[in-house]
Chains A and B, each alone.
Chain A
Amino acid sequence: MAASSTRSTSQLESEPGLPMTNIATAPARWRLKQPSIIPGFGLTLGFSLAYLSLIILIPIAGLFWRSAALGWGGFLSILMDERTLRALYVSFGTAFVAAAVNVVFGVVVAWVLTRYNFPGRRLIDAMVDLPFALPTAVAGIALTAIYAPQGWVGSLFMPFRIAFTPLGIVIALIFIGLPFVVRTVQPVMEEIDHEVEEAAATLGANRFQTITQILLPALTPAILTGFALAFARGVGEYGSVIFIAGNIPYVSEIAPLLIVIKLEEFNYAGATAIATIMLLISFAMLFVINLIQAWSRRRYGNA
Chain B
Amino acid sequence: MPDQSRSIAPRAPRFRNPADEGLGAKLLLTFLALTFLLFFLLMPLVTVFVEAFRGGWDTYVEALVEPDAAAAIRLTLLVAVIAVPLNLAFGLAASWAIAKFDFRGKAFLITLIDLPFSISPVISGLVYVLLFGSGSLLGPWLKSFGIEVLFAVPGIVLATVFVTFPFVARELIPLMEDQGTGDEEAALSLGASGWQTFWYVTLPNIKWGLLYGVLLCNARAMGEFGAVSVVSGRIRGITTTMPLHVEILYNEYNMVAAFAVASLLAGLALVTLALKTILELRFGAGNSGGRH
Contacts and interface: CB of A to CB of B under 8 A. Distances in A.
19 contacts: A48-B109, A52-B109, A56-B112, A109-B37, A115-B1, A117-B1, A126-B277, A128-B41, A133-B268, A133-B270, A134-B223, A135-B265, A138-B269, A143-B44, A146-B47, A207-B20, A235-B120, A268-B129, A268-B133
A105 B244 CA distance: 32
A63 interface: yes
Nearest to A66: B130
Contact of A179 (B86, B113, B120, B290): B290
Contact of B229 (A41, A122, A186, A260): A260
Interface string B265-285: 110111011101100000000
Interface stretch (B25-33, B60-68, B140-148, B203-211): B25-33
Nearest to B103: A33
A272 interface: yes
Interface residues of B, number: 110
A161 B120 CA distance: 28
A139 interface: yes
Contacts of B292: 132
User: Which 3 A-B pairs rank lowest in CB-CB distance, beginning with the nearest?
Assistant: A183-B290, A236-B120, A135-B223
Interface stretch (A19-27, A71-79, A194-202): A194-202
A138 B273 CA distance: 16
Interface string A184-195: 101100000010
B229 A38 contact: no
Given A133-B269, A135-B243, A285-B118, 17 more contacts: A34-B103, A37-B188, A44-B93, A112-B33, A115-B1, A117-B2, A133-B219, A134-B265, A135-B222, A142-B44, A145-B255, A197-B19, A201-B18, A207-B18, A239-B225, A263-B230, A275-B120
Interface in A14-40: 31-34, 36-40
Interface in A123-156: 124, 126-139, 141-143, 145-146, 152-153
Contact of A118 (B5, B122, B226, B273): B5
Given A48-B93, A236-B119, A55 B158 contact: yes
Contacts of A183: 289-291
A5 B198 CA distance: 24
Interface residues of A, number: 107
B97 interface: yes
Nearest to B48: A142
Contact of B269 (A31, A105, A135): A135
A237 interface: yes
Contacts of B42: 127
A134 B189 CA distance: 46
A128 B37 contact: yes
A99 B69 CA distance: 36
A271 B277 CA distance: 40
Contacts of B216: 132-133
B290 A184 contact: yes
A124 B185 CA distance: 43
